[in-house]
Amino acid sequence: MKAVTWQGAHEMQVVEVPDPRIEEPTDVIIKVTSSGLCGSDLHLYETLAPFMESGDIVGHEPMGIVQEVGSAVTTLRPGDRVVVPFNVSCGSCWMCERQLYSQCETTQTHEHGTGASFFGYSKLYGHVPGGQAEYLRVPFGDFLPVKVPDGPTDDRFLFLSDVLPTAWQGLKYAAVPAGGTLLVLGAGPIGDMAARMAVHAGHRVISVDRVPERLARVQKFGAEPVNLDDLGKDSSVADVVRETTGGRGADAVIDAVGMEAHGSPAAAGVQRLAGLLPDAVAEPLMKKAGVDRLAALYTAFDAVRRGGTVSISGVYGGAMDPLPMFQLFDKQIQIRMGQANVRAWTDELLGILEHDDPWGVESFATHHLPLAEAPGAYERFQKKEDGVVKVVFQP
Ligand SMILES: [Zn+2]
Ligand SMILES: [Zn+2]
């Protein structure tokens, strides 16, 4: 089959690889019909290079048609339409029983001390072949794949794999009070979807980014856009937010930026450096150096009101990052974060999407491309060119 593979920092290639096979009686094989390109795939592209091996199949936002089921699988049959959550979670361990699926104890990677495995997400997360491919092996067939109805387009359900549950959990963690104001930092796919969900839930939403077409998308759904590049020299996002919230700040902030933000040449330099070093040197450097920049997070702490909540959806990866503890303690800021426990939210979200499209998922993707165009798509997505916000590959 054909698959998108990592071949080195900044080098993705579509190559021919062996088809996946049933390895455990609980496995299913799906024929992938749509597969999302995610901001966190760009971390593999560059930052997480030390944890990649040449030839690794990437992608963690797939859906498709069940092709084959293992002998122990009872709830799925060939022909069923399924979406695959990005966490590889077993559904029956101590963590899964508590719906902490991103911490599944059956698939944790003990070598690196990390949580549940992800599809297509480096040695840090289990080294599991990913879903930007023609076929995918999915473990825990009776629990993990989300069966979806026939009828609507793939895009109606595809984002149950990551974007929808990640945004949904971010919004729940933000705990916006009734009539409250939510500040969303970043209008990439997660920030965009979180803003749409928050507006739909009746909250006032202020969205910040510096890419005009991304801000235009959330504005269409009712968020108030703030372009960082339009701020005066002496003004900050927090100033703008305080001006419109009685001087207090936002009741809650979602940081949907993480370490992919613009404008930190030093951090970018360290990331690139880590990518070029021999693996043995670079792996400890990546985990310890705290290469991510914290500008978005500092903005969140500044812009949130006293006693408010900061919900972190963007990915941070440093181990020694300085946090302003006095500000956090003095302002009584609540912080929640973590990878989405995808399967905890999919039934609730699917229940809504089966009948309706309140968040505009069917027009959410900006580009639908064949797998062969993946290398160029990664590049344009990273450079935020050509209006690329969300790419869906159709193998
Ligand atoms: Zn993703
Ligand atoms: Zn588990």
Enumerate residues 6+ apart whose C-beta is below 8 A from 28: 22, 66, 67, 68, 69, 70, 73, 76, 82, 137, 138, 141, 145
Compute the distance from residue 44 Cα to the ligand 2 centre, in Å: 24
Question: Could you give the count of Cα atoms lying within 13 Å of 372 in the half-sphere of its Cβ?
Answer: 0
Q: Rounded to an integer, what distance in angstroms lies between the CA atom of residue 110 and that of residue 113?
A: 5
What is the β-pairing status of strands 334-337 and 181-185?
unpaired
pLDDT of res. 261:
44
pLDDT of res. 283:
53
Compute the distance from residue 139 Cα to the ligand 2 centre, in Å: 12
Compute the distance from residue 118 Cα to the ligand 2 centre, in Å: 12
CB-based neighbours (< 5 A) of ligand 1, an ion: 38, 162
Compute the distance from residue 75 Cα to the ligand 1 centre, in Å: 26
The answer to whether 160 and 226 have CB atoms below 8 angstroms apart is no
Residue 345 one-letter amino acid: W
pLDDT of res. 259:
66
What CATH topology corresponds to 167-264+293-337? Rossmann fold (3.40.50)
Q: What are the CA-CA distances from residue 236 to residues 141, 219, 231, 264, 288 (Å)? A: 49, 20, 7, 17, 30
pLDDT of res. 50:
83
pLDDT of res. 24:
98
Task: Kindly indicate whether the domain formed by 2-162+340-393 is annotated with CATH number 3.90.180.10.
Answer: yes
pLDDT of res. 192:
97
The answer to whether 120 and 136 have CB atoms below 8 angstroms apart is no
Compute the distance from residue 105 Cα to the ligand 2 centre, in Å: 5
pLDDT of res. 320:
67
Domain ranges of the chain: 2-162+340-393, 167-264+293-337
Return per-residue pLDDT of the chain as tens, 395 residues. Answer: 999 999 998 899 999 999 999 999 999 999 999 999 998 898 887 778 888 999 999 999 999 999 999 999 999 999 999 999 999 999 999 999 999 999 999 999 998 889 999 999 989 899 999 999 999 999 999 999 999 999 999 999 999 999 999 999 999 999 999 999 999 999 999 999 999 999 999 999 999 999 999 999 999 999 999 999 999 888 999 999 999 999 999 999 999 987 654 434 344 444 444 444 445 545 544 544 443 468 888 899 999 999 999 999 987 776 667 788 999 999 999 999 999 999 999 999 999 999 999 999 999 999 999 999 999 999 998 888 888 999 999 99
Compute the distance from residue 89 Cα to the ligand 2 centre, in Å: 5
Compute the distance from residue 97 Cα to the ligand 2 centre, in Å: 7
Pick from 390, 377, 335, 388: nearest CA to 164: 390
pLDDT of res. 42:
86
Compute the distance from residue 340 Cα to the ligand 2 centre, in Å: 14
The answer to whether 170 and 93 have CB atoms below 8 angstroms apart is no
